[in-house]
Amino acid sequence: MIYGIGIDTVAIERFQRFIDSGNTAVIDRLFSSAERARCTGRKDTASCLAARFAAKEAFLKALGTGLRDGLSWHDVEVTNNALGKPELILSGKAAEHFEANRLVSKHLSLSHDGGSAIAMVVLESK
């Protein structure tokens, strides 16, 4: 049963400005060290970060909470499986909300084109 669906779009240019200005504080606040390592050094660093931020926003929309009740950007991490498929790893308050709502699975899709990064998250319950 579908519990929630979240979609978010982010301008890649926004993250390119953070990179160009050396604003590492905002990048550190939004992304885990693993996410930063995955995106840094790629020629598409800004689109990689923008897609991950869109995924975090889409997850919070699907969960229906937004970023409150102690949730942190670091509680939602975007990884990739062995085949490159994006996945969400939850910890802290995000994991607590996921379990408290009896959710059983999460699905993530990412895309970027035309200067935007887009993410969609579907959460399923029992």
Please pick, among 43, 56, 61, 126, the residue that the annotation labels catalytic.
61
| Residue-wise pLDDT tens digits, 13-63 | 999 999 999 989 999 999 999 999 999 988 899 999 999 999 999 999 999
Give me the domains of the chain, ranges plus CATH numbers.
Answer: 2-125 (3.90.470.20)
Q: Can you tell me the mean pLDDT for 65-74? A: 88
Task: Identify whether the C-beta of residue 56 lies closer than 8 Å to the C-beta of residue 76.
Answer: yes
Q: Which residue out of 56, 97, 106, 112 is catalytically annotated?
A: 112
Q: Is 56 a catalytic residue?
A: no
Average pLDDT (90-107) is 96
Whether the Cβ atoms of residue 71 and residue 94 lie closer than 8 Å to each other: yes
| Residue 61 falls in the annotated catalytic set | yes
Instruction: For residues 108-119, give the mean pLDDT.
Output: 96
CB of 71 within 8 A of CB of 60?
A: yes
User: Tell me, what's the pLDDT at 69?
Assistant: 81
> pLDDT value at position 67?
83
